[in-house]
Structure 1
Amino acid sequence: MTSHDPGIGFAPDPTIDLQGSPNRIGPKLPIPHLGIEPDKVKPWWFVLGIVLGQMGIFVGLMGPATVSIAYKAQTLTDDPAQQATITAFAIAPGALAAVIFNAVGGRISDRTTGRFGRRRPWIIAGILGMTLSLLLIAVAPGALLMAIGWFLAQATANMAFAAFTASLSDQLPKRQYGKVSGFVNIAANVAVMVATWMVPVFKDNMVMLFMVPALLGLVMVAVYAFMLPEPVLTQNRHPFNLVQLITTFWRNPIRYPDFALAWGGRFMIILASYMFTTFRLQYMTNHLGLEAGSATTAVATGVTIYTVAAMVASLGGGWLSDKIGRRKSLVAVSILVFGIGTYMLLHADTVSAFYVVEAIMGLAYGVYGAVDLALVLEVLPNREEVGKDLGVFNIANALPQSLAPAFGGFLLANLGNGTNFTALLVAALIASVIGAVLTMFIRSVK
């Protein structure tokens, strides 16, 4: 039940506490040994904890990223172009925070000493910081404070997310990757759906709109953090100097080409996704002609359809990838279908047509999300630096979430005058095609 007995041929490591930091919730679990892939399947209740952790981070952070900040922008001005500009200005600075704190957060958690383990302190501290940052956005009178609040929210949430994602590699055996990846993807989509439905419920109270999902997320993430059986470092084996800081953001793509290709595929589909979802509310009001109240309800309904489709596809995709042992072809095809869905939105002239496209995109993203995490865990360069490597990889998840509003906002405001979505959605299709092609060049995973 401790981390000191990895097996025959491994000498005890004096930098590891023999007792570790046991889980505080549930029956006691074996504490993983650092640098060695676990071989025992985790019980159902621990997998449920993983689902809660993923859902908690996403319900707090993705609601503002996809709907709430855009809705607040609509309360500040009636001009569509200015709404797109304010949304982009408020969200774009989070790109810098996402890049820095996701990668740094993973590497710091690899090196954290203390009796509470390596990942748990950063998961809890990060989600607390995110909650306080979202409160700042809720009370902000204008775009500048919204941007500051979003920068801080991205910084702290990505610290938590980096530690959370690294903990999955710490805890799970390879034969659980596909199924758990499917559940994790379902959790992310359900979280976005829940946060989206809170907009029509709390649209007249900005503090409630931002803080209810944030506090809900705080509770769920804390539950997972206390389920973790954590290895404990008694001393830092790898001092964190300037060279280490610089290399935090880098894995040599020539030496690790499959890792780089998987990174590129993730970057492109997230870019394509958020180029639309950030401006989904404006799409409903300016492309389909709905008034603001009806638009928020239609968006919530569309996200629900998307989520249900993604849940079904996630379960099937994760199971299928484990069953047939193939991941990259499933990932590539799902990225391509998702991109085609974004283009189809240009030809959706009714709410019903919009719902149909949301279902197609949900199915595609459900398969992608279920299989891609399993693929990524198989191409990690170094099991002793899982936090660092997943931190680098999570840049591909976090960076486009903040770049997409800036790039998409520019296309929408300058080429579409706030109402024409052609340039925006064609760019999303192109990004998806590139992502699919990059994924197919991965060689070490079938």
Structure 2
Amino acid sequence: MENQKASEDIKVNKIDRIRFSISFFIFALLWMSGLAIVSAVLLPQHLKDLVGASSATAIYGVLNAVTAVASLVANLLFGNFSDRTRSVLGRRTPWVIAGGVVGGISLLLVGVFSNVWAIGISYCICMFGLNMMIAPVIATLSDRIPDDMRATMSAFMSAGTTVGSSIGTMIGAKFITVQFPGFITAAILMGIAGICTVVVWPREKSSKDMPAVKGGFGELLASFKPPVKGARDFWLAFSGRTLLIFSYYMILNYQLYILESYIGQSTTVAAATISVMSVITMIVGLIGSLTSGAISDFIGRRKLPVIIASALLIIGYLLPWVMKTSFSMILFAGFAGLGYAVYGAVDQALNIDVLPSKEEAGKDLGILNIATTLGQMAGPIITSILVGVGGYNLVFPTAIVFAILACIFIQLIRSTK
């Protein structure tokens, strides 16, 4: 394929490999820590203080839905724009720096404003800034990373996200009674994510000498067209990714309610159980991300780790369904957390392998990243519907079916092993 041939021309020395590894880890760690401080702790509490507990729950749900849509649009938009950028700093670097600044300022404003509408607008702008960074960084995996180290780089990003989520939640908890310093901390972490990334990674070459993109506004609109020609494997990867993330977030986002309503724990005991689960997920996530990414690059295979990841996820979903104990949810954190980390380690490398066109990598990877947002957004919605119909006994087997289907779709891909 075109991308496989192009990847053979990419040469990276040992020092630059280390710099890329560190930069991808730092990038994910910083933006995820900043976002988690706000999304997991401070924003829900801020809304609760402003409008009361019952209204805050409804408003927070609407905010999550709206920001998910904003992320969908931004991912596609800025991936495409970075493909078309011509500057002395390269195609991706200007967007990565600017995205951090936009994301950091708007995240701070979420804590400054006391009007719900203003909070919502600022939070949506933050998602635009965040994806202004994420889309070009992921496209860099296609531009500058050879095939034999893409899973490793994907693994470092996955590890950074795992650690950042846990660290951000813990920092947010420290500021829950005095929130504004927490918002400042979150804004700084988000704001410096892009700058730190481009400082650490090897400098991107100028793109000024690349052929200019021709056409006006009509051509720009046409450039957002999803790939069709030679895109069979692309859409199989999209479907598999969406279903697998569906399955994981169906349970992950409802773990507190599962512990309380399905297992029968009190609120305080459930909170303690979730703390244990978070630590376990962080540990297995680090181990799974870093080891499976390196192994995938070493053996040159992407689909085998997906089979292993799917099996681990299925075991993680099966145990609480069968055992129905608090310990089974801790086992879920171990097995499913490890499975999701193993998948995350090869996820972006697999996505790059199925791209129909290297020239439109930013835009096409933006479409593939929509699967992540779609899964995170729709998974909990499916859970709420299933609980209303037949309780949590329907949730676990449905998640198992989604994981199996995801594995089947990805195994049908022909362009990578």
Q: TM-score, normalised by structure 1?
A: 0.80
Equivalent positions of 1:2-21 (< 5 A) are: none
In the alignment, which residue of structure 2 is the partner of 1:6? none
The one-letter code sitting in structure 1 at the alignment partner of 2:406 is G
For the residues of structure 2 that align with 1:426 and 1:196, how far apart are their CA atoms?
A: 29
Does structure 1 residue 277 correspond to structure 2 residue 283?
Answer: no
Contact 1:126/1:156 (<8 A) preserved: yes
Contact 2:152/2:293 (<8 A) preserved: yes
SS of aligned partner of 1:114: coil
For the residues of structure 1 that align with 2:107 and 2:73, how far apart are their CA atoms?
A: 19
User: Shift in Å at residue 346 of structure 1?
Assistant: 4.2
User: Shift in Å at residue 324 of structure 1?
Assistant: 2.4
SS of aligned partner of 2:360: helix
Q: Which of 264, 267, 278 is the matching residue for 1:303?
A: 278
Is the alpha carbon distance of 1:77 and 1:437 closer, same or farther for their aligned partners in structure 2, counting shifts above 3 Å?
A: farther
Does structure 1 residue 151 correspond to structure 2 residue 124?
Answer: yes
For the residues of structure 2 that align with 1:146 and 1:299, how far apart are their CA atoms?
A: 28
SS of aligned partner of 1:244: helix
In terms of mean alpha carbon deviation, does 326-335 or 46-55 score higher? 326-335
For the residues of structure 2 that align with 1:205 and 1:238, how far apart are their CA atoms?
A: 50
* Count of aligned residue pairs for this structure pair: 406
Equivalent positions of 1:369-408 (< 5 A) are: 369-408=344-383
Contact 1:200/1:297 (<8 A) preserved: no
Contact 2:162/2:285 (<8 A) preserved: yes
Does structure 1 residue 213 correspond to structure 2 residue 186?
Answer: yes
User: Shift in Å at residue 375 of structure 1?
Assistant: 1.6
Equivalent positions of 1:12-161 (< 5 A) are: 37-41=9-13, 42-62=16-36, 64-65=38-39, 69=43, 85-139=58-112, 144-161=117-134
Q: Which of 396, 405, 412 is the matching residue for 1:441?
A: 412
User: Shift in Å at residue 171 of structure 1?
Assistant: 2.0
For the residues of structure 2 that align with 1:201 and 1:297, how far apart are their CA atoms?
A: 16
User: Shift in Å at residue 55 of structure 1?
Assistant: 1.8
SS of aligned partner of 1:170: helix
Is the alpha carbon distance of 1:357 and 1:255 closer, same or farther for their aligned partners in structure 2, counting shifts above 3 Å?
A: same
Q: Which of 242, 245, 256 is the matching residue for 1:267?
A: 242
Q: TM-score, normalised by structure 2?
A: 0.85
Q: Which of 247, 251, 275 is the matching residue for 2:227?
A: 251
User: Shift in Å at residue 104 of structure 1?
Assistant: 1.2
SS of aligned partner of 1:43: helix
Unaligned stretches of 5+ residues in structure 2: 1-5
Contact 1:165/1:390 (<8 A) preserved: yes
Is the alpha carbon distance of 1:135 and 1:195 closer, same or farther for their aligned partners in structure 2, counting shifts above 3 Å?
A: same
The one-letter code sitting in structure 2 at the alignment partner of 1:328 is K
In the alignment, which residue of structure 2 is the partner of 1:428? 399
More helix by share: 2
Contact 1:55/1:191 (<8 A) preserved: yes
User: Shift in Å at residue 39 of structure 1?
Assistant: 1.8
User: Shift in Å at residue 210 of structure 1?
Assistant: 4.4
The one-letter code sitting in structure 2 at the alignment partner of 1:126 is G
Unaligned stretches of 5+ residues in structure 1: 1-33
Contact 2:355/2:361 (<8 A) preserved: yes
State the identity %. Answer: 26
In terms of mean alpha carbon deviation, does 151-160 or 359-368 score higher? 151-160
